[in-house]
């Protein structure tokens, strides 16, 4: 499934003679403003635009000869805050209307609702290139690719056709409708056959932070729906939520202590975890997994009966259309992530940055920086500073290259509960060492922290 924000459309490239004559061409722009185009309006693009405008307002533009102008292009009118997406099941709104945010900046920062098509590269760095879009051409001094990611199905047979990826509110609405429809079907069966044994299995593929948080939200939603709408028919029905994870542990990037805390909460909620289970095949009625015994190395195949399509949260891949990339752009070996230099630029193209899930960034140890919202936000903040300080002000000495800093994570454990890892706590020697906090107060901190990102 390809994100619509990056789909290439050919029909809009056909120009009328009048439009062809009127539109600017690459290399012919008058350098009257410093133009930045941000392609993609997810957490990366949103954070970058906000960081640049806040820095510009704080510095009063430094009375720069080139006024800053930012255009963010995305086909969706609302910014989707992914950490709140699964909480739509229980009433939270994850969508933030872009218009009020951009209205506060006026002409300096504009949202363009449309799709990026292709780039006309300028012959020299002194002139502007042009991003061609469904809404017309956008000249730029600097472009930032923040097109996000799409599901990675790892070529597993049937995974694309028979699972639901939860990446946006439309996916969530489809999933919620399927749940409600199935509950009504079960209630009708119980009314006709009072002693019929009923089951309600749910399979979530992937036990990273997304899979864990969704399982808690789903568990809360199911129990509430049963109590509120089917207190008689389905009172004895116990939802059967199963987390399927290919790795040996849930939350692969968490510590053993953090994994144990989350496992304790999952078990208390009646959520089953099946680690070391790799999905082999998905059909409309079955899910087949295989696991390897740690001692005998024997491969065991398990067949699960499916009522509703499994939820696919097992992995993502970069989502950059080739026509938005310069020729001969390289990718990390064995990956679809774009190779970038220390400053997150595409090598040989200093006016093109890549941030987020599509950026092939490695740390000091040579490991690839994880595709996470935390890494994306750090890249966005870094690029915002680099553009303002180096590209626009032309400071003689450039800052150090991007370095990802793992600041830990906050994982929701259901209604009014969350877990905070020690990396997020103040660095006071001996006070917070090896401390992992969880409970209602952490859930409040999580909501306060996330709400602050949306303002």
Last residue of a domain, one of 260, 285, 312: 312
pLDDT range class, residue 130, cuts 50, 70, 90? very high
DSSP 163-227: -EE--SHHHHHHHHHHHHHHHHHHHHHHHH-TT-----EEEEE--SHHHHHHHHHHHHHHHHHHH
Question: pLDDT value at position 313?
Answer: 95
Overall domain count for the chain: 3
One domain, residues 166 and 283: yes
Domain boundary among 269, 294, 312: 312
Asked whether residue 60 is domain-assigned, the answer is yes
- pLDDT above 90: percentage of residues in the chain: 51
Residue 289 sits in the same domain as residue 172: yes
Same domain (yes/no): 218, 282: yes
Contacts (Cβ under 8 Å, ≥6 apart) of 308: 178, 179, 182, 201, 202
Q: Are residues 260 and 198 in the same domain?
A: yes
Query: Of 241, 263, 219, 254, which is closest to residue 372 (Cα–Cα)?
Result: 254
In a domain, 403, yes or no: no
How confident is the model at residue 11, as a pLDDT?
36
Backbone angles phi, psi at 214, to 5 degrees: -65, -40
Q: How many CA atoms lie within 13 A of 315 on its CB side?
A: 17
Q: How far is CA 77 from the centre of its chain?
A: 17
Q: What CATH number is attached to the domain comprising 385?
A: 3.50.50.60
**Shared domain check, 127 and 182:** no
247-279 pLDDT per residue, tens:
999 998 788 888 998 999 999 999 999 999 999
Do 269 and 321 lie in a common domain?
Answer: no
User: Is residue 392 within 8 Å of 81, Cβ to Cβ?
Assistant: no
Q: Give the domain extent around 344.
A: 4-151+316-392
Residue by residue, DSSP assigns 61-100 as: GGG-SS-EEEEEEES-SEEE-GGGGGGGGGT---EEEHHH
Q: Give 3-39 pLDDT, tens digit per residue.
A: 443 333 333 334 444 344 345 555 554 447 899 999 9
Same domain, 165 and 306: yes
Least-confidence region, from 22-36, 154-168, 174-188, 307-321: 22-36
Q: Model-level pTM?
A: 0.84
Place 65 in a pLDDT band, splitting at 50, 70 and 90.
low
């Amino acid at each position: 499934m390809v994100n619509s924000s990056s789909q290439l459309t050919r029909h809009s490239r056909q120009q009328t003679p009048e439009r062809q004559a009127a539109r600017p061409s690459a290399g012919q722009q008058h350098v009257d403003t410093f133009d930045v185009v941000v392609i993609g309006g997810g957490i990366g693009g949103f954070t970058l635009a906000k960081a640049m405008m806040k820095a510009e307002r704080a510095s009063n533009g430094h009375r720069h000869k080139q006024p800053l102008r930012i255009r963010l292009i995305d086909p969706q009118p609302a910014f989707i805050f992914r950490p709140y997406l699964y909480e739509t099941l229980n009433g939270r709104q994850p969508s933030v209307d872009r218009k009020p945010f951009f209205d506060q900046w006026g002409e300096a920062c504009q949202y363009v609702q449309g799709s990026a098509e292709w780039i006309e590269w300028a012959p020299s760095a002194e002139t502007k290139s042009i991003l061609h879009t469904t809404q017309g051409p956008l000249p730029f001094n600097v472009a930032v690719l923040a097109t996000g990611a799409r599901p990675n199905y790892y070529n597993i047979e049937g995974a694309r056709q028979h699972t639901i990826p939860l990446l946006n509110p439309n996916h969530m609405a489809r999933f919620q409708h399927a749940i409600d429809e199935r509950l009504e079907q079960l209630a009708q069966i119980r009314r006709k056959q009072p002693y019929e044994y009923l089951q309600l299995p749910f399979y979530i593929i992937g036990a990273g932070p997304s899979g864990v948080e969704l399982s808690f939200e789903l568990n809360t939603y199911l129990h509430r729906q049963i109590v509120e709408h089917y207190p008689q028919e389905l009172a004895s029905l116990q939802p059967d939520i199963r987390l399927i994870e290919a790795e040996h542990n849930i939350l692969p990037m968490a510590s053993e202590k953090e994994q144990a805390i989350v496992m304790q909460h999952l078990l208390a909620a009646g959520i089953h975890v099946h680690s070391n289970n790799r999905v082999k095949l998905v059909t409309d009625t079955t899910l087949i997994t295989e696991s390897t015994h740690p001692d005998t190395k024997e491969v065991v195949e398990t067949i699960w009966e499916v009522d509703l399509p499994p939820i696919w949260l097992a992995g993502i891949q970069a989502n950059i259309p080739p026509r938005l990339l310069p020729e001969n752009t390289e990718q990390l070996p064995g990956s679809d992530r774009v190779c970038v230099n220390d400053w997150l630029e595409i090598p040989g193209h200093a006016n093109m940055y890549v941030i987020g899930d599509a950026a092939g960034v490695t740390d000091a140890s040579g490991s690839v920086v994880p595709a996470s919202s935390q890494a994306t936000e750090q890249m966005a903040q870094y690029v915002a500073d680099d553009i303002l300080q180096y590209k626009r002000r032309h400071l003689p000495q450039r800052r150090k290259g991007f370095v990802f800093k793992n600041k830990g994570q906050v994982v929701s454990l259901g209604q009014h509960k969350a877990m905070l890892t020690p990396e997020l706590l103040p660095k006071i020697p001996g006070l917070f060492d090896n401390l992992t906090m969880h409970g209602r107060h952490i859930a409040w901190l999580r909501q306060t922290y996330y709400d602050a990102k949306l303002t």
